[in-house]
Every structure is written in C-alpha cells, then in structure tokens.
Structure 1
Amino acid sequence: MRQWLIIGLVLLLNGCGISIQGSQYEQQSPKFNLMEFFNGEMKGWGIVQDRSGNVIQQFTLDLSGEMSDDSTLMLSETFRYQLGQGVQRRQWVITKQLDNSFQGNADDIIGNANGKVFGSAATWQYEMNLPVAGSTYHVTFDDWMWQFDDGAVINRSYIKKFGLVFAEVTLFFQKNNDCTKAKGAGESC
C-alpha cells in the first residue's frame, strides 16, 4: 500500500510541472534572433503571480543591449517594482554558442544561464537567490520567450523550488525604435 501511495504522489507532483517542448516552434515565424532583438533600447511591462494566479507584483523594465562583437551581447536591465523592492539592476553578458544556443552570466545568477532558440521561441534557464520580503530563496527560472515581430516579444517565466512552480512571471518587451531620436532631443526613453 505504501508503495502505491509513493507512486501516486510522484505522479501527482509530476503533473504540477510545466513541460514546454521547443521543437513545436521550430517551423514557426518569425525566426527569433535573440541577440538581434535585445540589441538596442526597449521597454518591458510585467506581473508576478502566485500559485493561485493572484498578481503579487507589477513592474516595468528598461533594457539596453549592445553587441560587443558578433557573438557577445551586453544587456543592462533596470527593474522598477510597484511593491516594496524599488529599483533593481542587472547586467547580463550573453554569448551565442555555435549550436544555436546561448549562455549568460550576471552577478545575481548562480553559475551560467543556458538557453536555446527554437524557430519563433527561445528558452532560458538559470538559478538565483531570489529576495522576497526580507528572505532569500534559491530558485530555478524556466523562461520561455515568443517573438511576434521585429519589435515585440512575450516572456513567460516559471519560478520553481524543489521542481515545483510556485510563481509565474508574464513579461512583454517592446523595442523602442525612436529611442535614439528621443535621447538626441534630451528626452529619456
């Protein structure tokens, strides 16, 4: 009896995970060129939801990416959280690999972030110590991005602890093609 209870619990827990198959996006367009998309200025808007679907955080995001060579992107992120955390910054160094994958590093990321492009989609996994309400949690992020056109990407992040999703982030990125003109006129993007 105990054996069947353990098997049932394992099957139940496996059903709580997210399992997106990148291969289903291989033939979809537009083809996501991650390095090209994040090269330049853009804006982002996002929400964080708990396991019940309740929105527990809202934020905006300013991004600025610059290619340092044909395979390395320097990406600066500035998060402005609505609740509690204020402004936070992250500087990524993202390197394109020969096999259409990419690898990234940032100060608050544990080890390497690893990703791969599948047609119109890209996935990105990494671990970090996530500060939440005065505590810190070692979590895994499983990000999926879908490109709509040259100027728009939607990102869905599944934040996991012990292999279980405990929060989800939905984020919309939009390239700011007029940003250079605005900066030239003394305005911010």
Structure 2
Amino acid sequence: MSKLAILMAGFVGLGGCASVDVSDYAAEKPELDLTRYFNGTLDADGIFQDRSGKVVKRFHVLIDARWQGNTGTLDERFTYSDGSTQRRVWTLTRLDAHRYTGKADDVVGEASGEARGNALRWKYVMALPVDGKVYNVDFDDWMFLMDDRVMLNRSVMSKFGFHLGEVTLSFRKRE
C-alpha cells in the first residue's frame, strides 16, 4: 500500500472520530430561541429504545412552559404506555444569546446547553431509578427546531462511555 493511501485511510479514520458541534448548525433556520419556543403549552410524544434498538417504553408529555426574564420553568407531566406517570420540573437559565443551564430534581448537578441556528445541545447527568436502584446516566441531548410548532429531540444515554439506549421525542407547540 502506498504512503498516500495509508495517509488517506488515517484521515478518513480520524474523521469518523470527530464529534458534531452545535456550531455546525449556526446557519440553519428557523432559529431556535428557547424563551420563545418553550413558552406556553406543548405536547410531546416519545419512545425509549434500549441498546439493541428495541422500543421498551412509549410516552406522552404535557409541558407547561413559562419564562420570567432569563429564567424559565418547564413543568413536564409524563404518561407512559403502561399507565404510570411522572413529573419533572426544569428550571432553565439563559446565560447569554446561546448558552443555557438547567436544573431538575432528578438531574445530578446542572445541565448545560448551547443553541445555534435551529439546534440545541444539552448535556447532563440524570439519576434514573431501575429495579429499586438509582443509576447516574449521562445524556447527550440534541433538539432541532423544524418550524414554529414542531421540534425533534434525540437523546443518547450512556454510562462510563457505554451506550445504554436512546430517547426520541417530537414536540408540538399548541396554538
């Protein structure tokens, strides 16, 4: 194999390791402003898939979202396909035009997020109860505004770098 072919193969391999950055979406429209989108009543429908891709949970979320200045509250009420329910209340803080932080009772520490163009990337650790135990799980959460009413969300869950599953949501803002 020639030196050029080896060099090219190395660059291709390195490119596969590169991570997507939220700034890659800076020119995408419509522009996502959390204070505008998460303001009012929203519905979301979602699924949780385990690491094999099997859907193990389906759910609906009713969200009451309000902002006062740079502080937002997202009151989320989950109804799962098995009939169980859950409530999570997020308190969001807008730090500047692009950066946000968030807290919720089951979030360990503070979530951090950055919005550029139509995209938002959240990173946080959530304390998840499973079979009587609580596990701290890393979330890498991406949201993409499609239009004034619809936003898509994909969260990848991991622990110690191992892929545990994914959550996919479709948000719809009520008129």
| Shorter-chain TM-score tier | 0.7 to 0.9
> Aligned with 2:36: secondary structure?
helix
CA distance in 2: counterparts of 1:33 and 1:165, whole angstroms: 30
Q: Mapping of 1:45-84 within 5 angstroms? A: 45-69=45-69, 71-83=70-82
TM-score by length of 2: 0.86
Kindly indicate whether the alpha-carbon contact (under 8 Å) linking 2:108 and 2:136 is maintained by their aligned counterparts in 1.
no
CA distance in 2: counterparts of 1:82 and 1:133, whole angstroms: 18
CA distance in 2: counterparts of 1:99 and 1:172, whole angstroms: 24
Q: Which amino acid aligns with 2:73?
A: M
CA distance in 1: counterparts of 2:59 and 2:130, whole angstroms: 15
Kindly indicate whether the alpha-carbon contact (under 8 Å) linking 2:95 and 2:101 is maintained by their aligned counterparts in 1.
yes
Instruction: After TM superposition, give the deviation of residue 118 of structure 1 in Å.
Output: 1.5
Q: Which residue of 2 aligns with 1:132?
A: 130
User: Deviating runs (4+, > 6 A) in structure 1?
Assistant: none
CA distance in 1: counterparts of 2:121 and 2:39, whole angstroms: 18
Q: Which amino acid aligns with 1:87?
A: T
Q: Which amino acid aligns with 2:90?
A: W
Q: Which amino acid aligns with 1:74?
A: T
Q: Which residue of 1 aligns with 2:38?
A: 38
Range 127-136 or range 140-149, more displaced: 127-136
Residue-by-residue CA offset, 1:105-143 (whole Å, 9 max, x unaligned) = 111111111000021100011112111233321111110
Instruction: After TM superposition, give the deviation of residue 99 of structure 1 in Å.
Output: 5.2
Q: Find the partner of 1:163 among 148, 161, 164.
A: 161
Q: Which amino acid aligns with 1:123?
A: R
CA distance in 2: counterparts of 1:171 and 1:40, whole angstroms: 18
Counting matched residue pairs gives 160
Instruction: After TM superposition, give the deviation of residue 18 of structure 1 in Å.
Output: 9.3
Q: Which amino acid aligns with 2:26?
A: E
Instruction: After TM superposition, give the deviation of residue 52 of structure 1 in Å.
Output: 1.1
Instruction: After TM superposition, give the deviation of residue 34 of structure 1 in Å.
Output: 1.3
Q: Mapping of 1:8-157 within 5 angstroms? A: 19-69=19-69, 71-83=70-82, 86-98=84-96, 100-157=98-155
Q: Which amino acid aligns with 1:54?
A: K
TM-score by length of 1: 0.80
Q: Which amino acid aligns with 1:140?
A: D
Residue-by-residue CA offset, 1:27-62 (whole Å, 9 max, x unaligned) = 110011112101110100000011111101100000
Instruction: After TM superposition, give the deviation of residue 163 of structure 1 in Å.
Output: 1.5
Instruction: After TM superposition, give the deviation of residue 165 of structure 1 in Å.
Output: 1.8
Q: Structure 2 stretches of 5 or more lacking a match?
A: 1-15
Q: Structure 1 stretches of 5 or more lacking a match?
A: 1-14, 178-189
